[in-house]
Amino acid sequence: MMDFLSNAAIPAVVLLIVVTAYIRGVPVFDAFVEGAKEGARTAFDILPVMVGILAGVAVLNGSGLIDMLTGLLQKPAEAIGIPREILPLLLIRPFSGSASLGLFSEQITRVGPDTFLGRALSTIMGSSETVLYTLAVYFGAANVKNTRHAVAASLISSYAGMLAAIFICRIIE
């Protein structure tokens, strides 16, 4: 059922758009090509932003910084109720999508998907986003140089959500 819903979502949206447009007399294909041209331009504009961000993230991952931070923060984190198995994911999640997905897939088989830890890890992954990458791409596409409080507000939001995830999973354990 879940599979069907998530798989059917895109075709259903496309069908709705195309049929409605056709009924209302929109030159559907012409409009599509017009919009697509603009999309292609935007995508190429983003390429340099992506190269920069991914290079920064890759260097961080390769350097072992996350392992080191995990070691340093383990004690204080456990004091406020964050299990050490979850700490690496908390640290990497806002910065690297591929690294956090890799870490998650590996951790979940180790702790078991239906344990408290497994459910907390899943909830964190399901309810958060690679904040830094998302903001860099969006603001990069709009040619914004000064993002003001966007990164700060997003990190606050992201950590509030991830801590809430751990808390909820602990209550309903």
Q: Give, in order, the Cα–Cα distances in Å from 64 to each of 8, 55, 92.
A: 41, 15, 12
Reading the block at residue 51, the tokens are: 């190269």
The verdict on 117 binding other proteins (CB under 8 A) reads no
CB closer to other proteins, 63 vs 78: 63
DSSP H or E stretch at residue 94: none
Rounded Cα gap, residues 15 and 10, in angstroms: 9
CB closer to other proteins, 22 vs 84: 22
Options 74-82, 83-91, 125-133: segment touching other proteins (CB under 8 A): 125-133
Within residues 31-70, the interface with other proteins by CB under 8 A covers: 31-40, 42-44, 46-47, 50-65, 68
Contact status, residue 89 vs residue 103, Cβ threshold 8 Å: yes
CB closer to other proteins, 57 vs 87: 57
Among 87, 89, 92, 108, interactor with other proteins by CB under 8 A: 108
